Amino acid sequence: MKGTQIFLDHIDGCEAAALVVDGRLTDLIVDSDAYAPGTIFRAKVDRPVKGQGGVFVSFPEGRGFLRQIKGVSAGQNMLVQVTGYAEEGKAIPLTTKLLFKSRYVIITPDAPGLNLSRSIWDEKLRDALLKYIHDGLAPLSYGIILRSSCAAADFKDVLEDAKTVLGVVKTVLEDDTTESCQLLSADSPHHMAWREWTTEATVEQEAGCFYSGGVLDLLDALNSSKVCTNAGSYFIEQTRALCAVDVNTGIDRSLSVGLKANIAMARDLPRQLRLRGIGGQIVIDPAPMPKKDRKLLDSVLKAAFRQDNVQTHILGWTALGLIEMQRARTRPPLSLANQTAGS
């Protein structure tokens, strides 16, 4: 089916949202029992960790790790925010730089000023939007970033959204609780879909729409490690230490078959990692190809991940001809989501 569709439903009682573009599953958000990125706690500092540049902190039913923290002492209370999902048996990654995201704005308490997304190019629109929001919120107590979704939005909706988020920020920052506690929950999958999927789309939200809309069939493909492309296939294998991606050529026997298979993989890989909730260390074993083509593959890979909303660092080639990457863990692993949905 052509067009963009958003499905809001549940999987075995677990809230879920799916984005389908032209019949292809593009994004998936499934609730889990783990603390999701965006959750804010008042936590207590436990102890510094020598050689790792950080400290452990504790909060109800959890333990986290803060990097690059100076001037803190054991027993100190501080506000922290979850930045990603932790590997099994490891502490939850946290930050003290709080961000409050909504559909049109991001509030940055530690970075004052009114800023606008660089993807909004129209100078007249930029000036008019900045003036409208500044006049409607002045004086500005916290930093505000106007997101790219503002370009097609009514200015009144943007202002109302900003006021709502600012109210949440005020409540969190002015909370006078001294004990460790959770101050703000992360957005649910349905609310996150509204926040992040801002392109024009038809929205299906009646119970059972995953089944009637064919989403469950699209999800079945994620149970296999094999991903087929128009130039071959590749396998995504998750281990405890890293994720391995192995590229294979198809029936094509031309001299450029390796490059074709690698390019097809590079263009599809961000989507697959996003759907499967894979982060951490990723190692790609490309199909055989001439070394002179590496620069072309690098440019395709970087362009593909530039369009992805998950921070990914492409570190380069190893002596063995592998590509190393580091990706943020902003989604629960598919295994964790499946486990939660089936519980």
Kindly report the CATH number assigned to the domain that includes residue 49. Answer: 2.40.50.140
- Give, in order, the Cα–Cα distances in Å from 215 to each of 4, 9, 189, 298, 335: 13, 10, 16, 32, 18
Using the predicted structure, report yes or no on whether residue 309 has a pLDDT greater than 90.
no
Q: Assess if residue 300 is contained within a domain.
A: yes
Using the predicted structure, report yes or no on whether residue 264 has a pLDDT greater than 70.
yes
Burial of 259 (0-12, 13-18, 19+ CB in 10 A): buried
Residue 201: CB atoms within 10 Å: 16
Q: Assess if residue 26 is contained within a domain.
A: yes
Confidence band (pLDDT; 50, 70, 90) for 9? very high
Confidence band (pLDDT; 50, 70, 90) for 51? low
Q: Assess if residue 186 is contained within a domain.
A: no
Q: Based on the fold, state whether residues 234 and 147 are members of the same structural domain.
A: no
Using the predicted structure, report yes or no on whether residue 45 has a pLDDT greater than 80.
yes
Using the predicted structure, report yes or no on whether residue 255 has a pLDDT greater than 80.
no
Q: Based on the fold, state whether residues 17 and 106 are members of the same structural domain.
A: no
Q: Based on the fold, state whether residues 286 and 316 are members of the same structural domain.
A: yes
Number of domains composing the chain: 4
- Residue 273 lies in domain: 224-336
Q: Based on the fold, state whether residues 85 and 135 are members of the same structural domain.
A: no
| pLDDT for 340 | 44
Q: Based on the fold, state whether residues 29 and 45 are members of the same structural domain.
A: no
Strand ranges, E, within 102-242: 105-108, 114-116, 143-146, 181-184, 202-204, 226-229, 232-238
| pLDDT for 335 | 67
Residue where a domain terminates, one of 215, 245, 264 = 215
| pLDDT for 343 | 39
Using the predicted structure, report yes or no on whether residue 316 has a pLDDT greater than 60.
yes
Q: Based on the fold, state whether residues 248 and 315 are members of the same structural domain.
A: yes
Q: Which helix (H) or strand (E) holds 126?
A: helix 123-137
Using the predicted structure, report yes or no on whether residue 1 has a pLDDT greater than 80.
no
Tokens 């499905």 found at: 7
The average pLDDT across 79-91 equals: 89
Q: Assess if residue 183 is contained within a domain.
A: no
Hey, what are 99's tokens? 């961000």
Using the predicted structure, report yes or no on whether residue 12 has a pLDDT greater than 70.
yes
Q: Based on the fold, state whether residues 45 and 27 are members of the same structural domain.
A: no
CATH number of the domain encompassing residue 147 = 3.30.230.10
Q: Which helix (H) or strand (E) holds 29?
A: strand 24-30
| pLDDT for 325 | 97
Using the predicted structure, report yes or no on whether residue 145 has a pLDDT greater than 70.
yes
Residue 246: CB atoms within 10 Å: 17
Residue where a domain terminates, one of 50, 77, 97 = 97
Q: Based on the fold, state whether residues 228 and 326 are members of the same structural domain.
A: yes
Q: Assess if residue 185 is contained within a domain.
A: no
Please list, in sequence order, all residues whose beta carbon lies within 8 angstroms of the beta carbon of residue 70, skipping any fewer than 6 positions away.
none
Q: Based on the fold, state whether residues 26 and 49 are members of the same structural domain.
A: no
Q: Based on the fold, state whether residues 228 and 329 are members of the same structural domain.
A: yes
Confidence band (pLDDT; 50, 70, 90) for 13? confident
* Per-chain mean pLDDT for the chain: 91
Q: Based on the fold, state whether residues 120 and 146 are members of the same structural domain.
A: yes
Which position has the higher pLDDT, 121 or 72?
A: 121
Percent of the chain with pLDDT over 90: 77
Using the predicted structure, report yes or no on whether residue 125 has a pLDDT greater than 90.
yes
Q: Assess if residue 288 is contained within a domain.
A: yes
Return d(Cα 271, Cα 301) in angstroms, integer: 12
Percent of the chain with pLDDT over 70: 96
pTM for this one? Answer: 0.89
Q: Based on the fold, state whether residues 119 and 159 are members of the same structural domain.
A: yes
Residues 325-340: tens digit of each pLDDT: 999 999 888 765 554 4
Tokens 């790790």 found at: 65
Best mean pLDDT range from 60-69, 71-80, 289-298: 289-298
- Taken as a whole, the chain contains a residue count of 343
- Among left, alpha and beta (phi > 0; psi -120 to 50; other), residue 38 is left
Return d(Cα 224, Cα 336) in angstroms, integer: 16
Using the predicted structure, report yes or no on whether residue 260 has a pLDDT greater than 70.
yes
Using the predicted structure, report yes or no on whether residue 182 has a pLDDT greater than 60.
yes
Q: Assess if residue 341 is contained within a domain.
A: no
Please list, in sequence order, all residues whose beta carbon lies within 8 angstroms of the beta carbon of residue 198, skipping any fewer than 6 positions away.
103, 148, 149, 152
| pLDDT for 2 | 84
Q: Assess if residue 263 is contained within a domain.
A: yes
